[in-house]
Structure 1
Amino acid sequence: MRAGGAGWPAGLLLAVVAWLLLVGPRASRAANVTVRQEPGVGHEGESDGEMDEDTDNDTEVPENEPSTEAEAPEEVQNRTIVKEVEFGMCTVTCGVGIREVILTNGCPGGESKCIVRVEECRGPVDCGWGKPVSESLESVRLSCVHISPENRFRYMWKLLKADQQPVILANDSAVLEVQRELHPMAFECDTLDNNEIIASVKFTVYTTNELQMRRTTRPDTDAVLVFVLTIGVIICIFVIFVLIFIIINWAAVKSFWGAKASSTEIHSEMSSMRYKDSTSLDQSPTDVAAREEDALSEWNE
């Protein structure tokens, strides 16, 4: 009984060991599986979090998109404003001048047009013959073609002579004062910008006697022209008012002219009747008696 009892616990021990050997790896595998799944759960959580963040980002993107869409029309509007710019007339027809750059859309204060800036404009170089700035019987002041500031350009004055090369003068300013001589003189001024001629103008300086003669013989056409234009404008305005009055009161005018025409016809008829009466009265009694005798003789025959 003791040997058998001693053997039983040994067999039971072996069975327990075998069971542990069989169940232990399974438990460890299950533990490993659970351990391995926990990171998976974490990853899934992270992936869910990332998906939530992505969805949040996706939901935030449309919030940013309207801003870009709102900025796009502003850029387009700016471009249209640039395209809707017009230029004013140049202050000169030759040489160098200035003109206004006018904005026709997007002006402050709701204005339809506003001046953006003033820029330089250029025309043909040759300006022909110019007029002096001021002149007297002793001297004359001539000016080159330029815009402000004067020191931006370089000026070259020349004395022109017939069939000869022009003489370059020492004066390099924009204004030249010349004393009148015994003979008329011609001057030319070239305006240079970066050694390029952008304007050229000529002047004639007459003598004192020629200037006095031109002043006395020059017809005073300005006053006559102003008077003729004033009279013409007054006549045109009067004719326009008369036409407007006739159009407005056409019925009254028509009846007036009809009555006047009928009265003239009546007067003409009365005058013709008076003429006939006067002719019948002018006949003598002898003529009447002769006519009666002729009528009686014809009746007897």
Structure 2
Amino acid sequence: MALRAGGGLALLLPLLLPLLLALPAAGSVNGSGAEAAEPLGGRAEPGLNATVSTEVEFGVCTVTCGIGIREVLLTSGCPGTEAKCIVRVEECRGPVDCGWGIPISEGLACVKMPCVYIPPENRFKYVWKMLIPNKTARILPDDSAIMEVCRDTRSVTFQCETQENGNIIASVKYTVYATTETETKKSRRVETGQSRRTMTDAILVFCLVTGIIVTVGVIFAMICMILHWAVVKSIWESKSGQDNQGKKLANKRSLCNTE
């Protein structure tokens, strides 16, 4: 009997072995699912590092063309009681064509002109061109962000292209006037300033003369009143007496009417 029982157990053991091995595997799968339900480190605290959805607002770009920077603001989930907080500062870009620029410095002999860029300066590539009417633009060897040009006998137009990874992100133009035109403009400005100054002086003189005439007239009237005070007093008294008599007559008429 013992041998028969042992033989039956030996025959059942290969059938039960897969079931015994499957039970720990199922327990491990359930355990991993429970661990995956909660992230490592517990629940996320509210704040800048929260995993909840947040609202973002973008600030105004520092430029209207080319490349600039702007602030990225968080409108919910800020620490403390702040309604908005700055998350980061990022680049912003506008239209490529910036039109006509203003030189950094402009003298009678030379002019300094800047390209459009943001720090760091060596991040971009700068291509300076000389624009010639009805001809192809001439590329200059200067590749710096600021170029200094001395005036010539004729006016010249320059253009700077700011490039990044082979793409143009900003373009600005400058006109360097000739020496003769600069002197002519300077003389015109001087003449305009002198004419404005002359007009201002004339207005001031007119106001001064008018004020003096009015002041002299008032003083003369006061002197006449002081010298003829008796006559003025008699006129005033006679006028006040007539007014009193008129009031008395009016009162009498009102009394008669009431009776």
TM tier relative to shorter chain: 0.5 to 0.7
Alignment partner, residue 152 of structure 1: 123
Partners in 1 of 2:140 and 2:17 — Cα distance? 91
Greater per-residue helix proportion: 1
| CA-to-aligned-CA distance 1:169-217 (integer Å, 9 cap, x gap) | 3322111112234544332212222332221111233414414644774
Q: What is the DSSP-based 3-state SS (H/G/I as helix, E as strand, rest coil) of the residue aligned with 1:70?
A: coil
Q: Which residue is equivalent to 1:78?
A: 51
SS class of match (1:171): coil
CA RMSD of aligned residues (A): 4.4
Alignment map for 1:240-279 (pairs within 5 Å): 274=247, 277=250
The answer as to 2:62 corresponding to 1:94 is: no
Asked if 1:210 corresponds to 2:161, the answer is no
Q: In the alignment, does 2:139 pair up with 1:168?
A: yes
Q: How does 1:11-160 map to 2 (within 5 A)?
A: 30-36=1-7, 57=27, 61=30, 65-71=33-39, 78=51, 80-81=53-54, 84-107=55-78, 112-160=83-131
For each residue in 1:58-102, what CA deviation from the matched residue of structure 2 results, as whole angstroms up to 9, or x when unmatched?
A: 8x93x654542222976xx53725xx3333322211112222333
More displaced 10-residue stretch of structure 1: 172-181 or 33-42: 33-42
Q: What is the TM-score when the length of structure 2 is the normalising length?
A: 0.54
Q: Which stretch of structure 1 is more off in the superposition, 141-150 or 207-216?
A: 207-216
Equivalenced residue count is 192
Which consecutive residues of structure 2, in runs of 5 or more, have no partner in the other structure? 45-49, 197-243, 255-259
Q: Percent identical across equivalent pairs? A: 43
Change (3 A) 1:50 1:172: closer
| 1:104–1:114 contact (8 Å) kept in structure 2 | yes
Tell me how far apart the structure 1 counterparts of residues 75 and 33 of structure 2 sit (CA, whole Å): 31
- 2:190, 2:72 → 1: CA distance? 42
- The higher-RCO structure (CA 8 Å, 6+ apart) is 2
Gaps of 5+ in 1: 1-29, 221-270, 282-301
Partner Cα separation in structure 2 for residue 163 and residue 129 of structure 1: 19
Give the equivalent residue in structure 2 for 1:199.
170
Structure exhibiting the larger radius of gyration computed from Cα positions: 1
Paired with 1:51 and 1:37, the residues of 2 have a C-alpha distance of 23
Q: SS at 1:80's partner residue? A: coil
Equivalent position amino acid for 1:69 in 2: A
TM-score normalised by structure 1 residue count: 0.48
